[in-house]
Structure 1
Amino acid sequence: MKKISATILAFNEEKRIGACLESLRGIADEIIVVDSGSTDRTVDICSRYGCRISVRKFDGFGAQRQYATSLTTHQYVLSIDADEVLSPALQESILRLKEEGFSHRVYSVARLNFYCGFPVRHCGWYPDRQIRLFDKRYANWNLRDVSEAVIFRDSVRPALLDGDILHYRCDTPQQYEAVINSHAKMKAKVLAAKDEEIGFLSPFLHGMKAFLKTFVNCGGIFEGKVGREISRQSYRAELLAYTAARKIKKSSC
């Protein structure tokens, strides 16, 4: 049977990482956890599951994921977050690959995102296909701070696995808003580093574009109150990122 290394990024995830690790039982032959300095019981929980743990200061998502990949010992790497769980169907798909052998170098999987326990199938949140299982000899993470992705040669075509990654984004609206704030700060630095000028109206215009895309183009309107809230947060995320980026550019002049 072929072997798989699983990688997890973690920071203060004591409430959710147990479910993640449970879903990897019988799937992952080793689990690498890169922790960003948790102050709760995250590391203790991972230790009880026999994970190999490395503590590393957070340096952007892409760099952190690639570092985790560098610690693996098996050829195929399954990347999953502490707030994600493999669905039973996805577990079966991966077990079948391990038994029959890998016929592709890169595999994609649909991700079903949950907002405060509610499964969201619009807003651009589903199927939200992700490259999460790959042969590390032919694919690796880019080093982007946000919107990181697995990169590979143009001639490689990802195979779609049956089943979903279940992503529990937040337990409360406040928790989701805190994540938005954190990601907006990182995105602001990326935007500010570009040569493009950020005008006075840019934050508002990009925010409205994000809202309309989420609510209208991606069907957020069909999700009722949840769809409106997610669309509002999409607006807010872009507004914060571009506003902060504009301030950074102005201060550096």
Structure 2
Amino acid sequence: MKILVIQQKMIGDVLISSIICNNLRIAYPNAQIDYLVYESTTPVLEGNRNIDNIILFEEKHRKSKAAFLKLALQIRATHYDLVIDAYSKLESWLIVLLSGAKRKISYKKKGRTFLYTDNVPFEPYPKTNLGLAIERRLSLLDPLDLNIKIDPLPKLYVSEKEKQEAVSLFEKNQLKKERKTIMISLLGSEKLKTYPLEYMAKLVDTIADTFDVNILFNYFPKQLNDAKFVFDSCKPSTQEKIYFNLYGDSLRSFIAIMNQCDLIIGNDGGAINMAKALNKPSFILFSPWIEKKIWATFEDGIMHNSVHLNDFKPELFSNLTEKELKKRAIDLYKNFYPELFTNQMIAFLSNNLSDNKKKSIEICNTKKPLLTALIITYNEEHNIKELIDNIAFADEIIVIDSFSTDNTLAIAKSFDTVKVVQHPFENYALQRNFAISLATNPWILFIDADERLTPKLQQEITQTIQQKEAFSAYNVYRRFMFENTILNYSGWQTDKIIRLFQNNKAFYSEQKIVHEKLNVTGEIGKLKNKLIHYSYTDFTSYKQKMIVYGKMKAKEEFAKGTSPNFFHYYIRPLYQFVYQYFIRLGILDGKKGVILCYLNALSVSVRFQELKKLKSKN
């Protein structure tokens, strides 16, 4: 059997598409498997014994029709039984058309289905944490019904000679052996894919300030000026940790050097994909015009993590086409300042620089999507045990505690299945975003300590995340409990909140620091069963909660430049009470309605009194 795989694209594409060859070798050990690629990409294929012949598509084949036809006829003369076209562009269409192969497989695209015997749907959304780049390649194997365990991991092979040369290079440059070594993917393949250099310098400073590590820059000699700019922009204390003259002057030398490093951080591109193929942890910075869902491969939130401006400021992407995004990429990059994701990067480094870090990539099961339950706490000893028992069906439970002074921490740590992280509390939005950065599963359930799931809601959540066409996020209605009885009105009868969402498709807006808003990429659905909200346990604690909320809302108003006046001090609290008590039918809740409406009006009053203090201080 003779098989030809076609991938006429760049390094990352060629490396990832090599998984087609790898799996074909498992299924057909005696087949001849050839790979058609650009000449410049062959270094990532060296040592791969799953490929019998590398067929080069050279510059002459693009410039000369005669040379192209000669190549196509050579391919036809080989008499391939199967051609898999992972490129699917004009060049490959002509080769497939002239190949004479009995079976031809590619993606189903309008106007070209006649070229192929099997047209595979071009999936728009990933189903697992493999990422679309991997899933789409593997889907080209589906028509073959291979009776094998699919291996989705691209492979790079480093010879013993190359390993020793890299070790010698480290010794020559006197890298400190007691330190871990970080590779910085400094520059993208073009300016539109390169994180602003002044921002990159800040990130490198943050890494050097936080961790005692060796730092290497990935750049080619022709990129020396840009690399030098970043180096010169770093603090002297950072420069002492950077080994600026140690870099790969070829793809193979970079691969060997990367093989000696512990992880990689930086721009999305070939360097990142090569690092992943060497099983190195990665933290990726995506260009604003690149689709994260395609290239965020093997994303698990621990070993592999990534950030995109759309995660933080989705309003900047509203109704923009890919062409428009590409045109505005440089200006959009200016909004992607390091402070947006510094906490995520530090959490990633902490996980992967420790000696007990995870050693291999974990892939989320397509048949059973995994769920992470997140809880943020401060002095919740009366709630935490019952809540953890309530969400025990989740595959991962993480408690983010802001240094409780009661027994919350001890109780949470008593559960072997619970991961406990302490993190300073600035505001709810930042704390929730930090929590999301720790989640390792494709689905997240965010639940507060005073909330409980009914058995029916637990079952609905489990069924929802298994749906093939699931929404990006789900609203859930809440049933408000006044002490131990249901409050039917007072504005709470239509209370709903997003509590279930897909990881990497939602992030909390930092503009709202209390009653925070979740920005979601994609459609939002609704769960049928209600969440129980034990918010009001007694007058004193609920009053204190409303005062805290009022003070935090004051900070939001201050940031917006609001100037308080008579209307804010007196009319707004009164309106809040009247609205909840009469219009939202708090009057039907009797004494409970009076208490609740009063306390919510108090929160509004506190907000503007606190805003007055903030204004006077500034």
Same fold (TM over 0.5): yes
Q: Distance in 1 between matches of 2:423 and 2:469?
A: 31
- 1:147 partner SS: coil
How far has the Cα of 1:9 moved from its partner? Answer: 0.5
Q: Is the 8 A contact 1:215 1:221 kept in 2?
A: yes
CA spacing shift, 1:165–1:102, aligned 2, 3 Å: farther
Q: Deviations over 1:157-177 (max 9, x none)?
A: 311112111111132111100
Q: Distance in 1 between matches of 2:595 and 2:538?
A: 12
Q: Deviations over 1:104-157 (max 9, x none)?
A: 11111111121222211211213311111111222112222112021124xx33
Q: Which of 538, 541, 548 is residue 172 of structure 1 equivalent to?
A: 538
How far has the Cα of 1:196 moved from its partner? Answer: 2.8
Scaled by the length of structure 2, the TM-score of the pair is 0.39
Q: Which of 76, 79, 82 is residue 443 of structure 2 equivalent to?
A: 76
> Letter of the aligned partner of 2:591 in structure 1?
K
- 2:561 partner SS: coil
Q: Distance in 1 between matches of 2:569 and 2:384?
A: 35
Q: What RMSD over aligned residues (CA atoms) do the two structures have, in Å?
A: 1.5
How far has the Cα of 1:77 moved from its partner? Answer: 0.6
Q: Which of 485, 489, 502 is residue 135 of structure 1 equivalent to?
A: 502
> Letter of the aligned partner of 2:382 in structure 1?
K
Q: Distance in 2 between matches of 1:40 and 1:196?
A: 37
Scaled by the length of structure 1, the TM-score of the pair is 0.93
Q: Structure 1: any 5+ residue segments left out of the alignment? A: none
Q: Distance in 2 between matches of 1:196 and 1:188?
A: 9
> Letter of the aligned partner of 2:384 in structure 1?
I
> Letter of the aligned partner of 2:586 in structure 1?
G
Q: Which of 146, 153, 161 is residue 514 of structure 2 equivalent to?
A: 146
Q: Structure 2: any 5+ residue segments left out of the alignment? A: 1-367
Q: Is the 8 A contact 1:131 1:149 kept in 2?
A: no
Q: Distance in 1 between matches of 2:610 and 2:593?
A: 26
How far has the Cα of 1:248 moved from its partner? Answer: 1.8
Q: Distance in 1 between matches of 2:515 and 2:571?
A: 21
Q: Distance in 2 between matches of 1:126 and 1:162?
A: 14
Q: Distance in 2 between matches of 1:88 and 1:203?
A: 44
How far has the Cα of 1:216 moved from its partner? Answer: 1.2
The percent identity for this pair of structures is 28
Q: Which has the higher contact order (CA 8 A, sep 6+)?
A: 1
Q: What residue is the counterpart of 1:36 in the other structure?
A: 402
Q: Is the 8 A contact 2:444 2:501 kept in 1?
A: yes
Point out the more displaced range, 74-83 or 121-130.
121-130
Q: What residue is the counterpart of 2:307 in the other structure?
A: none
Q: Which of 91, 105, 114 is residue 481 of structure 2 equivalent to?
A: 114
How far has the Cα of 1:250 moved from its partner? Answer: 2.6
Q: Which of 49, 55, 59 is residue 422 of structure 2 equivalent to?
A: 55
Greater strand share, structure number: 1
Aligned residues: 249
- 1:5 partner SS: strand
Q: Distance in 2 between matches of 1:141 and 1:194?
A: 18
Q: Is the 8 A contact 2:369 2:442 kept in 1?
A: no
Q: Is the 8 A contact 1:109 1:164 kept in 2?
A: yes
- 1:163 partner SS: coil
- 1:46 partner SS: helix
> Letter of the aligned partner of 1:3 in structure 2?
L
1:213 aligned onto 2:565: no
CA spacing shift, 1:169–1:109, aligned 2, 3 Å: same
CA spacing shift, 1:19–1:51, aligned 2, 3 Å: same
Q: Is the 8 A contact 1:12 1:40 kept in 2?
A: yes
Q: Over alpha carbons, which structure has the higher Rg? A: 2
Q: Distance in 1 between matches of 2:477 and 2:590?
A: 23
Q: Is the 8 A contact 2:476 2:531 kept in 1?
A: yes
Q: Distance in 2 between matches of 1:202 and 1:104?
A: 40
1:65 aligned onto 2:432: yes
How far has the Cα of 1:99 moved from its partner? Answer: 4.5
How far has the Cα of 1:200 moved from its partner? Answer: 3.0
Q: Distance in 2 between matches of 1:223 and 1:241?
A: 26
- 1:182 partner SS: helix
- 1:31 partner SS: strand
Q: What residue is the counterpart of 2:617 in the other structure?
A: 251
> Letter of the aligned partner of 1:218 in structure 2?
R
Q: Distance in 2 between matches of 1:5 and 1:38?
A: 22
How far has the Cα of 1:97 moved from its partner? Answer: 2.3
> Letter of the aligned partner of 1:66 in structure 2?
N
> Letter of the aligned partner of 1:185 in structure 2?
K
After TM superposition, what 4+ stretches of structure 1 lie above 6 angstroms from structure 2?
Answer: none
